[in-house]
Structure 1
Amino acid sequence: MIPPFETTFAVPLSCEDCIKDVSSSLYKIDGVHNVTADLPTQLISITGTAAPSAIVSAVQSTGRDAILRGSGKAEAAAVCVLETHASSVKDNVRGLIRMVQVSPTMTILDMTLKGVSPGSYNVTVRETGDISQGAVSTGGVWDAVAAKQEKRSIKGVFGTIEVGKSGLGTVFITKPIQIWEMIGRSIVVSRKQDSFDKEDPDTLVGVIARSAGVWDNDKTVCSCSGKTVWEERKEATAKGML
């Protein structure tokens, strides 16, 4: 059983009716226990066991967008943006994996792929974070050698994602691992088991990085670019970000 966890999202809200509209949509999702919203900060907090991707979809169904601002406790969340290294692809972002550690022995993984060929995709964490040559340079599957010696399941094998004809695939799973073990490693998502091809547009890679915990990130304007979070979001989605 997954313990409840909290996530916060930035959502454009202009009035109390907006809050009611979004909240009503969120409560239709299985696993949403509580929804609270703050109009001045434009933030919505959700407690429960629902996948963050399902929450974003529910908010978008109301005609609004949602940006994940934090998940779980401080230093207990991570993210991996998946990209193809194929030179033939213009907008190379093809997937996103959100990770939240909800207990000392459980991390949930919310994985989404978009714009890839239909089929079954293998998801593995690799030994290194070197993605300079795509999947080719990421090394072997993390923990594979130790797991074989100890005769147990491999921590770095996250299973598969099934992608339909629309090019979209999602999966929400749990693994008995901790966030700190994965930071700086890479993830490979591919229809191949190994012997990866850098020019395969359906072989995706990304580095696992820490993500903000709940209430750790309340910025509305980037100090580097001066752009609002919504301007950054528009540019990111144009490049394929989910």
Structure 2
Amino acid sequence: MMSFLRSVATIPLAGSAIPTEFSLSSSSSTKSQTFPFPSSSRSSPRLRASAPMACVPQVPAAAVSEFKGPNVFGVVRFVQISMENVRIEASFGGLSPGKHSWCINEYGDLTKGAASTGNIYNPLQDDQAATQLPGDLGTLEADQNGEALYTVKKENMKVTDLIGRAIVVYETEDKSVHGITAAVVARSGEVGESCRKLCSCDGTTIWEATVY
């Protein structure tokens, strides 16, 4: 019996290396009997999803550019609504009444204001003959109070490629002179989280545009 107890005491506890067999000997016989453990090569059952996961609203990639004066104030928001499409929404105040060109420029260098932001952003370098470069945002039209709203969907653009560049606003539609103000495009987390969510399945509009 003591021999049997010693044999049992040598069986490893959970978490230790598991042998493939153990021996049991009795006091009446010197011959050991071998009892193999179940094969460890059998794989345990895998859990499978019983149904597809429900659609969960998600906050897409977003960026923001803020104009803090002293003359022109505004905010521009960029949201990735698909792999190659970006929704741009902007509101401005402090502009002179009338039309103002504006664009995304190559660099976020504001050491000399708009003059140090480079040329209009153009990821399509092989298509210089395009009628409008991707970074050209068209025209802002300010009312008599100097306020302007803008919403557009831009194709062939990614929010991640815009971060660190600059938004430039011009005094008129003429881009031959430097812009009157500029602001850097920065990554946005709080803007997207504080507004309505964009569902990945239906493309709901994210923001209601309001004057800044």
Name the TM-score, length of structure 2 as normaliser: 0.57
**Is 2:167–2:183's contact at 8 Å kept on the other side of the alignment?**
yes
Q: Match for 1:204 among 181, 187, 205?
A: 181
**Structure 1 residue ranges, 4+ long, deviating more than 3 angstroms after superposition:** 147-153, 213-217
Larger Rg: 2
5+ residue gaps in structure 2?
A: 1-56, 195-210
Q: Does 1:97 align with 2:83?
A: no
**Count of matched residue positions in the alignment of Structure 1 and Structure 2:** 138
**How much identity, in percent, do the aligned residues show?**
30
Describe the shift of the 1:205–1:147 C-alpha distance in structure 2 as closer, same or farther (beyond 3 A): farther
**Is 2:86–2:153's contact at 8 Å kept on the other side of the alignment?**
yes
**Is 1:72–1:100's contact at 8 Å kept on the other side of the alignment?**
no
Measure how far apart 1:130 and its partner are: 0.4
Describe the shift of the 1:179–1:213 C-alpha distance in structure 2 as closer, same or farther (beyond 3 A): farther
Measure how far apart 1:138 and its partner are: 0.6
Q: Which amino acid aligns with 1:168?
A: E
Residue 16 of structure 1 aligns with which residue? none
Residue 127 of structure 1 aligns with which residue? 106
Measure how far apart 1:205 and its partner are: 0.5
Q: CA RMSD in A?
A: 2.9
Q: Does 1:77 align with 2:77?
A: no
Describe the shift of the 1:134–1:106 C-alpha distance in structure 2 as closer, same or farther (beyond 3 A): same
Q: Match for 1:146 among 115, 118, 125?
A: 125
- Structure 1 residues 116-195: aligned runs within 5 Å: 116-143=95-122, 146=125, 148-149=127-128, 151=130, 153-176=132-155, 177-190=157-170, 191=172, 192-195=174-177
**Is 1:123–1:188's contact at 8 Å kept on the other side of the alignment?**
yes
Structure 1 SS opposite 2:189:
coil
Counterpart CA distance in 1 for 2:191 and 2:96 is: 34
The structure carrying a bigger strand percent of its residues is 1
Name the TM-score, length of structure 1 as normaliser: 0.50
The structure carrying a bigger helix percent of its residues is 1
5+ residue gaps in structure 1?
A: 1-70, 85-90, 198-202, 218-240
